Amino acid sequence: MKPSMEEKKRLKRDRIFRAASKIFSEKGYFETTVADIAKEAGVSFGTVFTYFETKEMLYETVILEQLEEIKPHFLDIQGTFTGDPMEIITAMVDRHVTIFSEKSEFLRLVQQVLARLDRYPALFEELDSFVSDFIESVSPVLEEGQKMGVFYPDPHDLLAHSYMSTLNGMRLTYIDDPSNLRLWEALKIQAIRLFGPYHHPDGARKW
């Protein structure tokens, strides 16, 4: 096969992948037909099966590959963010909320999966270990912040879990307008407050 052939194949796979992500996130797994995806991708629906064995595998692939993309932002907290613990958490929350506000397509998919975890065991396992890895990654920061007295003295897994809950919940609370900056900014602060009391940088009040 000529290199250009491989390149062409890669591009076509990508077209199908992106079409699937879009349509699945909009209509959910069951109301999406393979024909829908093929049409969006501009290929015949037979071609979809050339690149992905079944509809179900396509769905899982679409989610898992995008999860890989965002992993670095969650699994190397200390390598990615610097400063004192509150600065690290603030930067982390900022990054995460920004990612989620931009990746609403992916987040919708995650919601769908979370609503049917037993239905997708492979995805469940992946998401579960993702959360575990995140806890492990953020733990040292929490530890230090707790020692310094700027974070609540609760167990790390609880803090991390409720943070993940809140991130997830954000998308659910009817926020589909990524341009609603005021809301997203406010949600960032609310997320930070899960770790420790937080006052607005510009606030006159202190807590």
Partner DNA sequence: TATGAATGAGTCTTCATTCAT
Partner DNA sequence: GATGAATGAAGACTCATTCAT
Interface residue list for a second copy (CB under 8 A): 26-31, 108, 111-112, 114-119, 128, 131, 149, 152-155, 158-159, 161-162, 164-170, 172-174, 183, 186-187, 189-190, 193-194, 197, 203, 205, 207
- Least distance CB 78 / a second copy (angstroms): 23
Q: 4, 82, 173, 179: which one contacts DNA (CB under 7 A)?
A: 4
Instruction: Select from 3, 46, 149, 201 the one that contacts DNA (CB under 7 A).
Output: 46
Q: Which of 113, 107, 136, 138 is nearest to 126 (CA)?
A: 113
Dist. CA 207–CA 189, nearest whole Å:
14
Residues constituting the chain? 207
Pick the closest to residue 111 from 17, 103, 92 (CA basis).
Answer: 103
Q: Which of 35, 64, 122, 172 binds DNA (CB under 7 A)?
A: 35
- Which of DNA, a second copy, none binds 34 (CB below 5-8 Å, type-dependent)? DNA
C-alpha distances in angstroms, 176 versus 102, 171, 186?
A: 10, 7, 15
> Per rule CB under 7 A, is residue 9 in the interface with DNA?
yes
Q: Which residue has 């960032």 as its token pair?
A: 188
Distance CA(44)–CA(21), nearest Å, equals 17
As measured in angstroms, the least distance from the Cβ of 43 to DNA is 4
25 near DNA, rule: CB under 7 A: no
Owner of token pair 């809950």 = 165
Contact residues for DNA, defined by CB under 7 A: 1-2, 4-5, 8-9, 12, 31-35, 43-47, 49-51, 53-56
